[in-house]
């Protein structure tokens, strides 16, 4: 009987050990808690003047800078924790990350099907998405005019490799006043259920557009055309390494 119990115990342990690989799950991006620190917009240009004289005909060059009605910008820093926990969120161990590596994602969808996430297809989706946000075909701040590059680092989403230079991308300006290679890269993605996802690759204390240190900078679509002042919630997810 003792031999039988010992054999049963060995068999049970073997079965549990063999079953463990089937319990390994892909690590999906996690929802992020947010703290709004500031909310600003660009100032209006001061009106220029010219002294009119009766009888004169004057040629003038006129230049102005206006605020986009298509994009909202986000920037800031990320802190996080890598943890080992069970399905009830009982933590066995954790590690704090002061300057984490990974990605931050933004979407109007509060739940994303991360399985099958891939590059955003410009040919298939852009026309419908621009129509949704009231973007005209000739707008200089349209989607394909903004995400006009295909130049970004490789990264993983839900254990799916997004290869180098395969997706529509852009570079958000740093302290030089222009986009710089391998700094503040943003990539357009599509979720498994056709959710539009804005993905920003995290930096470690990089000088941003305002010459301050930031972990991320990104832009997302928002319709401000035709005096539209309604707001649209965006949901943020992070995938830390």
CB distance 229 to 69 below 8 Å: no
Residue 72's CB is within 10 A of a number of other CB atoms, namely 17
Supply the pLDDT for residue 145: 97
Residue 124 confidence (pLDDT)? 87
* Rounded Cα–Cα distance for residues 41 and 229 (Å): 14
The two structure tokens encoding residue 23: 């319990």
What whole-number distance in Å separates Cα of residue 118 and Cα of residue 84? 28
Q: Dmax of the chain from CA atoms? A: 119
Distance CA 161, CA 163 (A): 6
Q: What local confidence, expressed as pLDDT, does residue 22 receive?
A: 39
153 by Cβ neighbours in 10 Å (0-12 / 13-18 / 19+) ranks as middle
Q: Where are the domains of the chain?
A: 68-240
d(CA 5, CA 22): 27
Helix-then-strand count for the chain, H and E: 3, 15
Report mean pLDDT in 10-residue bins for the chain, 241 residues.
Answer: 38 34 61 88 92 97 94 94 90 87 97 95 92 96 97 95 98 97 97 97 95 97 94 95 80
pLDDT given at position 127: 93
Q: Tokens 């620190």: give the residue.
A: 37
Query: In this predicted structure, what is the pLDDT of residue 97?
Result: 82
**pLDDT score, position 129:** 96
Give residue 21's pLDDT. Answer: 41
pLDDT confidence of residue 130: 97
Host H or E run for residue 145 = helix 143-146
């Amino acid at each position: 009987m003792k031999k039988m119990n010992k054999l049963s115990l060995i068999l049970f342990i073997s079965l549990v050990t063999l079953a463990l690989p089937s319990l390994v799950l892909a690590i999906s991006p996690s929802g992020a808690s947010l703290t709004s620190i500031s909310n600003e917009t660009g100032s209006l240009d001061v009106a220029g003047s010219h002294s009119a004289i009766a009888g004169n005909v004057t040629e003038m060059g006129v230049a102005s800078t206006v605020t986009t009605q298509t994009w909202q910008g986000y920037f800031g820093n990320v802190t996080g924790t890598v943890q080992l926990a069970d399905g009830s969120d009982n933590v066995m161990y954790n590690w704090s990350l002061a300057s984490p590596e990974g990605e931050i994602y933004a979407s109007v969808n509060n739940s994303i099907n991360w399985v099958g996430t891939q590059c955003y297809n410009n040919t298939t989706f852009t026309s419908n998405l621009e129509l949704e946000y009231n973007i005209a075909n000739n707008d200089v701040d349209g989607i394909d005019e903004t995400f006009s590059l295909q130049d970004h680092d490789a990264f993983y989403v839900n254990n799916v490799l997004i290869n180098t230079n395969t997706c529509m991308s852009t570079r958000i300006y740093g302290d030089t006043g222009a986009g710089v290679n391998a700094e503040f890269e943003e990539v357009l993605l599509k979720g498994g259920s056709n959710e539009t996802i804005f993905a920003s690759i995290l930096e470690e204390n990089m000088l941003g557009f305002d010459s301050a240190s930031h972990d991320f900078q990104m832009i997302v679509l928002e319709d401000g055309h035709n005096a539209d002042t309604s707001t649209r919630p965006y949901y943020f997810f992070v995938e830390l390494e």
